[in-house]
Amino acid sequence: MCSMKIKQKIQDDLKRAMKERDELRKRTLRMVVASLELAEVDRQAELDDPAILGLIQKEVKSRQESVAEAKQAGRDDLVENTQAEIDVLQEYLPQALSESELKALVEETIDEVGAEGPADMGKVMKAIMPRIQGRADGKVVSELVRGRLSGS
């Protein structure tokens, strides 16, 4: 995201979407801004970039679940709209880690914290989560760590 804070970029892009009458982008970014403001009110502090990335990641995950539900219900109109929102949100997330990069990061973190078995799972997750913020699904990371610590 260069040196520009993510929040400022989102607000600037929202203004541009309003001027260009880009309804999809405007609607999506307004939801993100509302979520950011709500989170800041809850925390009683301004969110930093990693927290904002986490929030955007949560929005993407929520929409991915909606896409799955809409597909099951045969609602192709909802699938298309929601997928378009996901595409807009993903512009603000860093490049996702490849599977090999993720596995290497898991190995590196396990070595760093000296984890030896499943009992050390929490230690590894605590160390790795800040490193992957917005670049990988926590569930996938958790499965990789669990698999590695249990020797599979």
- Over residues 79-123, the pLDDT tens digits come to 889 999 999 998 998 887 888 888 899 999 999 888 888 888 889
Which residues, at least 6 apart from 7, have a Cβ–Cβ distance to it below 8 Å?
Answer: 36, 47, 49, 52
Has domain 6-90 been given CATH number 2.40.30.10?
A: no
Residue identified by tokens 């045969």 is 74
pLDDT at 1: 38
- Over residues 12-65, the pLDDT tens digits come to 999 999 999 999 999 999 999 999 999 999 999 888 887 888 889 889 889 999
**What does the alpha-carbon distance between residue 40 and residue 48 come to, in Å, rounded to a whole number?**
10
Domain span(s) for CATH 1.10.10.410 in the chain? 99-149
Q: Could you tell me which CATH class the domain 99-149 is placed in? A: mainly alpha
Domain span(s) for CATH 1.10.1510.10 in the chain? 6-90
pLDDT at 3: 38
Confidence check: pLDDT of 2 > 70: no
Q: Is 31 exposed, middle or buried (0-12, 13-18, 19+ CB in 10 A)?
A: middle
pLDDT at 99: 85
